[in-house]
Amino acid sequence: MPLDTELASTETEVGASWRTIFGNPRPQPGDTLVHLDYGIGRFEGIEEIEVDGATLKTARLHFANEASLMVPEAEFGKLWTYGAGDDAPLDALDGDVWQDRLIEARREIASTAKALLARARERRAAEAPAIDAEPHGFDAVIDGFPHEMTEDQMRADRFVARDLAAGFPMDRLVIGDVGYGKTELVIRAAARVALSGHQVAVIVPTTILCRQVADALRERLGKVGLEIGELSRLVPDADRKATREALRDGSLRIVVGTSVLASRPACFSSLGLVIVDEEHRFGARAKTALADAIGPIHRLMLTATPIPQALTAAEIGLRDVSVLATAPKGRKPVRTEIATFSESAVSEAVASELDRGGQVFVVAPRIADMDCIAGILAADIPASRVATVHGKMKEAEIAEAIHRFRTGEADVLLGTSIVESGLDIPTANTMIVCMGGRLGLAQLHQLRGRVGRSDTQAFMLVLAREQAKKNEKTMERLEAFGEIDGLGAGFRIALLDRNRRGGGDVLGEAQTGHVSHVGTGLYRHILLSALREAA
């Protein structure tokens, strides 16, 4: 399929999920739009006006210098969603700046189109293992899934299977909120490749997530005779050495590891697939180091809160993307509250969850704050059993603390934001974040994803000190987080982050800025036209 055709069909492939991520296609008052002839303006609403006795529907746009433009319905096709930063300066109606910028953008986008075509042709020319969609033993892997897959999961799985079988390197991004089933896609992709005789490397950002993903793979794939290796600082030196030797001689087909797996790639005998979980936590260098060291291979990236660059690239069609936007059956939104930090706020929230027989996460962003929180719990709820965890603890201590919490031997897990990834404990349904003003939107959302993993109503309490609440930007961020608390909130948080930070560099340092010059909607339109001309 020609690259321009692939890009044009992206929205069709993603289907209804696409609109769930990128919002209602109808602009809302206050949205930033781009008019093809006049540039960047702010949409103020739809108005009806009388012209020669006829009623016309128009869109009012506000531009620089308090100028307004009434766009008739017949010209709505000239309007595009900006979506590349809320702080974009408005253009002037009576100036030539926009037209000069548009001409420059068209010229640079034409260069981008040629680079994209060259990159696509290079990828198509490269060879990667053609993986059987249903190798021997794969039925047993599917039968081991205890839940019903959502339509989004099934669609994403079909595209992954298609990509793996194509004979050239897969490069697919899966965007799915916390708890929406990305791990199942990892299990199935890894099974297809390993059962076909090739090796799989799964790269994760934290030791906790490394252990959980490895355990999930062992539980499902051990039944079909596949062993899972693990490379992180939680693994003893002797075991790490044995795992690397098994990868070199090919006796081990699947390994899960932290960034050390990317920065210092092990010597694989037949690596066929690299999976990067929580892609937003890695820099571009870490994500590509392993692939560059080994050569052309299949790559599958997963994220709940895509970085602005990835979100923009997906939105305008520069990346193969699958979207998990449908919540699992029975899932309820986590009720989120922003409040002032106090001893009573912490102890009352913990006591409330313990009274209903559940468990509690309590997060302090800094290790130095943990003693204070532990003292509050000891004084106000002396009967509570508290396990603590932070990044400076020894590996065995971290594993022991998490084991106690997972098995119910501890009621409260007190830790730093190290707990934001890799803990899936259905009985833990209250998350308390102390000094929450120190955390970003994506971190807060990842922490919220640790609770609400069952059909029990879950709660998140974000506490900020009085001094932090006086900071306007901090409170704006926390209030926005508190308002975005429904199912699928990760998508909207990613959009909010993108709107604040801009669209990012979609193709490399040389292309920085042109998405922000014309907005994502018009950029995609110009890019598709340029691809057709360059093809």
Domain count, the chain: 3
Across the range 353-378, mean pLDDT stands at: 92
Average pLDDT of every residue of the chain: 82
Is 56 in the same domain as 170? no
Phi-psi label, residue 91: left if phi above 0, alpha if psi -120 to 50, beta otherwise: beta
Is a pLDDT exceeding 50 seen at residue 22?
no
324 or 195: which leads in pLDDT:
195
Is 111 in the same domain as 139? no
For residues 302 and 311, give the distance between their C-alpha atoms in angstroms, rounded to a whole number. 12
Q: What tokens does 277 get?
A: 């979980």
pLDDT band per the 50, 70, 90 thresholds, residue 6: very low
pLDDT band per the 50, 70, 90 thresholds, residue 509: very low
Is 473 in the same domain as 525? no
**Within-domain flag for 495:** no
Is a pLDDT exceeding 70 seen at residue 13?
no
pLDDT at res. 318: 65
**Within-domain flag for 243:** yes
pLDDT at res. 282: 74
| pLDDT tens per residue, range 225-236 | 999 999 988 788
Is 82 in the same domain as 130? no
Is 7 in the same domain as 115? yes
Is a pLDDT exceeding 50 seen at residue 510?
no
Is a pLDDT exceeding 90 seen at residue 261?
no
pLDDT at res. 11: 37
pLDDT at res. 534: 78
Is 204 in the same domain as 258? yes
pLDDT at res. 358: 93
Q: What tokens does 449 get?
A: 């994803």
Residue appearing with tokens 């790559």: 299
Residue 80 DSSP code = E
**Beta strand pairing status for 335-340 and 459-464?**
parallel
**Within-domain flag for 493:** no
| pLDDT tens per residue, range 429-476 | 999 999 888 888 878 888 888 888 777 899 999 998 877 666 777 887
| pLDDT tens per residue, range 275-294 | 988 877 776 666 566 556 66
Is 237 in the same domain as 90? no
**Within-domain flag for 323:** no
Domain that holds residue 41: 3-124+501-534
- Residues in CB range of 323: below 8 A, 6 or more apart: 14, 17, 18, 20, 21, 152, 156, 174, 175, 176
Is a pLDDT exceeding 60 seen at residue 16?
no
Spell out the alpha helix ranges (H) of 231-384: 237-249, 260-263, 284-294, 308-315, 343-355, 370-380
333 or 410: which leads in pLDDT:
410
Is 147 in the same domain as 208? yes
Which CATH number fits the domain that encloses residue 526?
2.40.10.170
Strand partners, 199: 271
Number of neighbours of residue 473 by Cβ within 10 angstroms: 9
For residues 183 and 513, give the distance between their C-alpha atoms in angstroms, rounded to a whole number. 35
Is 155 in the same domain as 293? yes
Is 353 in the same domain as 408? yes
pLDDT at res. 84: 60
Number of neighbours of residue 5 by Cβ within 10 angstroms: 12
Q: pTM of the entire structure?
A: 0.76
**Within-domain flag for 297:** yes
What SS3 class is residue 274?
strand
Residues composing the chain: 535
**Within-domain flag for 409:** yes
- Sheet with 271-276: strands ordered across: 228-231, 254-257, 199-203, 271-276, 298-303, 171-176, 320-324
For residues 422 and 435, give the distance between their C-alpha atoms in angstroms, rounded to a whole number. 22
